[in-house]
Chains A and B, each alone.
Chain A
Amino acid sequence: MVALCVSGPALAAGDRELGQHLSSECVTCHNPSGKNAAGVPQIAGWPDDQFVAVMNSYKEKQRDNPVMQTIAERLKAEDIEALAAYFGGLKPPKEQVPAKRTKGRER
């Protein structure tokens, strides 16, 4: 976690300090390690423009998930840019989790 918080390439215009603060809301579900996260997408290392586009589509309710709509709804444009800058600066986890679901079925 500490390692992940070190600055990445300074590409984005967003306020990374604000982004790091706001990111605490995201990592309740989006595990930055990508472990066992099949039902929740891994978002570390996403390109900024993609991140902004996805968040805006939740904000505008073009994407369905009510959890994400509720979160995106109150984010201002600069909040979304800050989050994009923060997550974009994180290294994606080494092992990408395959898309198939490994949990949630009965053992």
Chain B
Amino acid sequence: MSFNRRQFIGGSAAFAGAMVFGAPAVLGQAKPRVVVIGGGAGGATAAKYIAKDSNGAIAVTLVEPNAKYQTCFHSNLYLGGFRDYASITHDYGALKKKHRINVVADRATKIDREKKEVILASGKKLPYDRLVVSPGIDLKYDSVPGWSQAAEQTMPHAWKPGAQTLLLKKRLDAVPNGGVIVMVAPPNPYRCPPGPYERISMMAHALKKARKDRCKIFVIDPKESFSKQALFQEGWEKHYKGMVEWLGPKVHDGLKSVDPKTNTVVTGFETYKNAALVNVIPAQMAGAIARDAQLANASGYCAIDPASMKSAVDPNIYVLGDASIAGDMPKSAFSANSQAKVAATMIRGELTSSRTFDARYTNTCWSLIETDDCVKVGGAYEAKDGKIAASSTFVSKTGETAELRKQTQAENMGWYSGITADIFG
């Protein structure tokens, strides 16, 4: 079966026809094969649901170089001292044993879309009938003048979990009373829209708790506004008065450069010299494996069919999570997990003719501001007018009762337990 780009984009009738032809061809072989690249919230969920719900009818291989996975979600709570590192660390034991997924501890280096093969760093090739690409983000190291991959050791990003998370915590704990922290916040679109601001809250909490309340956190933000802004600013004023100063582009007049040697940050408005800690969260794009396979467009992210999460440029590939262009959905673990379930249903439908259902997506992002003071934002989404569109959204309100905020934090912790069991259990 040949499938060119024009046919794919050319209309749903041609597309549907090709899919009908596609199914028997796949069914004709021993067992259809699905390869999943990336063992995070998108990839691991997709692998699990395809394996679990197909009851062994589909051979699932998950390619993930790391044996242990630290969640980016709740890594801010580790920074604030609300969680230990072990509690945000997970492994692939249940996916291997319980769900009989072939977990390959290797790095995918190339996708050969013509041959339908994934090539690993070891040189091994994995043929697929359907491929799930869920690599997360790559950082644009050149988006902040003066910063670089080498500089992440002195000016950590901690926007990918693991060693960077530990480094940022260590550096935060070493900040002396009166020390200045500068966060360079990222431009849209990026992983976890409320994440930088929850991080500021958790940094301030840790400093205050260590009686270092003369410290000051400056946020140099390229955006005029940010997620849950009124809620965070209310919380900072209430809990960390005088400790947090958020500066939008009209105030700081642009980030000019950073100097990792002297821990200096220069803006059009001010120079911050010898900062005790500089946290650079740069601009982002889809992981290299997706970009190298030409799955991304000029935006750096991958266009998808909103009704299935199928790549807009390759009918055998699905792209999930932070790497995808998911319309109104934010780049979050919750979103990736939700998208993975849609993709898993559609992939099973294509490969084993199982029943499919219309795509529906959900997301909620909780953010902890201070002990027992948690807020949330979320929504329900569906495929509409060529994109994933919000059908309903909600956000916490300013001035909520302490009891409600405490309950929201309990929900946040319950969600973490639920989603990590859903992904890895």
Contacts and interface: CB of A to CB of B under 8 A. Distances in A.
Interface of A: 1-2, 5, 17-18, 21-22, 24-25, 27-33, 35-40, 65-67, 69-71, 73-74, 101, 103-107
B169 interface: no
A29 B415 contact: yes
Interface stretch (B24-32, B79-87, B268-276): B79-87
Interface of B: 49, 52, 81-84, 98-99, 209, 334, 337-338, 341, 345, 355, 357, 360, 362, 364, 371-372, 376, 378-380, 382, 391-394, 406-407, 409-415, 417-419, 421-422, 425
B83 A107 contact: yes
B337 A67 contact: no
B361 to A, nearest CB: 9
Contacts of B392: 70, 73-74
A24 B334 CA distance: 12
Which of the listed residues B341, B393, B406, B410 has the most CB atoms from chain A within 10 Å of its own CB? B410
A40 B415 contact: yes
Contacts of A66: 376, 378, 394
Contacts of B379: 70
B357 to A, nearest CB: 5
B394 A69 contact: yes
Nearest to B390: A70
10 contacts: A5-B52, A28-B337, A29-B411, A29-B414, A36-B417, A38-B410, A66-B376, A66-B394, A101-B413, A104-B412
Nearest to A17: B355
Given A21-B345, A70-B378, A73-B380, A28 B334 contact: yes
B355 A39 contact: no
A37 to B, nearest CB: 5
A76 to B, nearest CB: 12
B372 A104 contact: yes
A107 B418 contact: no
Contact of B417 (A35, A67, A105): A35
A90 to B, nearest CB: 14
A33 to B, nearest CB: 6
A107 B415 contact: no
Given A29-B415, A30-B418, A39-B407, A24 B83 contact: no
B412 A71 contact: no
B160 to A, nearest CB: 23
Given A2-B52, A67-B394, A104-B412, A28 B84 contact: no
A36 B380 CA distance: 25
Which of the listed residues B83, B376, B380 has the most CB atoms from chain A within 10 Å of its own CB? B380
Nearest to B334: A28
The 5 closest A-B pairs by CB, nearest first: A39-B410, A40-B414, A39-B414, A66-B394, A36-B417
A65 B364 CA distance: 12
A74 B389 CA distance: 14
Contacts of B372: 104-105
Contacts of B345: 21
A42 to B, nearest CB: 10
B309 to A, nearest CB: 14
A29 B407 CA distance: 14
A70 B421 contact: no
B49 A35 contact: no
B412 A28 contact: no
Given A37-B414, A71-B380, 4 more contacts: A27-B422, A29-B419, A38-B410, A40-B417
Contacts of A33: 421, 425
A44 to B, nearest CB: 12
Given A1-B98, A28-B334, A36 B414 contact: yes
Contacts of B412: 39, 104
Nearest to B362: A25
B425 A1 contact: yes
B1 to A, nearest CB: 28
Nearest to A34: B417
A28 B335 CA distance: 10
Contact of A37 (B394, B407, B417): B417
B376 A104 contact: no
